[in-house]
Structure 1
Amino acid sequence: MNKGKILIVDDEEDIVQQFTRTLKGQGYAVEPAYSGEEAWEKYQNEYFDVVLADWKMGRMNGLELLKRIDDNVPRSQVIMITAFGDEDSSIEAHHRHAFDFLKKPVDRQTLIDAVGAAMARRDPVIEALEEWVEKHPEEADEKTHIDFSHPPRSWSAREMLMEIKGNTKRGREEYKDMIKLTFHLMTHGNIDTRVMECARESM
């Protein structure tokens, strides 16, 4: 089982290949993209734990990609990479919830450390679902009637995880409903603080 899935976005092929080799060597699954448009197309069809995005690209630059990701749920952790690194750009990136802001050239250990730190902050709802499905493989395929869906539907945990990680419209709707349920539960009992933070941000 890989450690997580990374989307690498840069219009410089050698940088994409360099980052890909490094991260694959650390056990991550990696998907390359060579433009903001290509990255966004891939992001709409699959969930990525971490996105590494170059700031300066063609029609859709890294900031525009970051904005689109930030407006989505579930959100990936986004690490912005730039050859410029001015303070205004860094502030703008963090305002849009960028996890980190790295200046080129990025050495191997800096890349590994940044991605590792971002993975530690990966979406807690998806992480909890993955852990449950892995620990309960038989129950994960059992259908459950979910009353907070509109209209109510029958889901298995594995189906829900696949839809959410596939970033489908159905998966995004179910994710939002799960967050609403989580927000309700956290006001009536104990719940993991990571999930609480995610729920507050997504409401």
Structure 2
Amino acid sequence: MTRSILSGMLGLISVLALGGLPVACQSGGVGDPCIPEDEYKTDFAGFKVTEENIESRSFQCQTRICLVNHFQGRVSCPYGQTKPTTGGTATGGCQTSTSGPDDANKACCVPGTDTVVEAEVCGQCAEDSQRDAAQAVYCSCRCGVAEGADPDPNFNFCECPTGYTCEEIRPDVGLGDKQLTGKYCIKQDTKFVTEGSCGTVKGHYNATQCKGVGFTTDS
């Protein structure tokens, strides 16, 4: 509750300071790791590789943008988990964003706590798929408008640093915040092509909800 109140107050201060409009920051910090705010919810099952998510007021990022670019699962729980029969506190320890195979059987927890996530969570896509957390979730910035959209002279677009390319992440379909549509800096050679590229899932795999072709606990 304290975290939610604090985040809300900081978000309001940020909006007021920027005149109520989302404005792109400098490109410094692009590529820094971030954990999306959704992962602080105990009932959040994780992201889907078929979707993107743009968190526009992330206080973990200098750019204020935490980009989830077609990623599966939770950043904070690389190997996922089956749905727990009980919630509460993890007794066998928790996975973290840097967990290795030895931690594959530990619970998914709210980041920074031992509170167990109440949902089934898919393992992340294989590292060589370019869709694991390191390649698909990080701080980014908006570098251009969507394909076919009118130019926006009032937006402070960033320039992508070396090793990143400016690619369309969210088309402008006339819904939601127009200033979140368009192109963002992503790591080279990580543009999403198809859900079939997920490869062998790292950890928990349920064919009814997880993309991929099975599972492994290899690093």
Q: Comparing both chains, which one has the higher relative contact order based on Cα–Cα distances under 8 Å and sequence gaps of 6 or more?
A: 2
Q: TM-score, normalised by structure 1?
A: 0.28
Q: TM-score, normalised by structure 2?
A: 0.27
Larger fraction in helix: 1
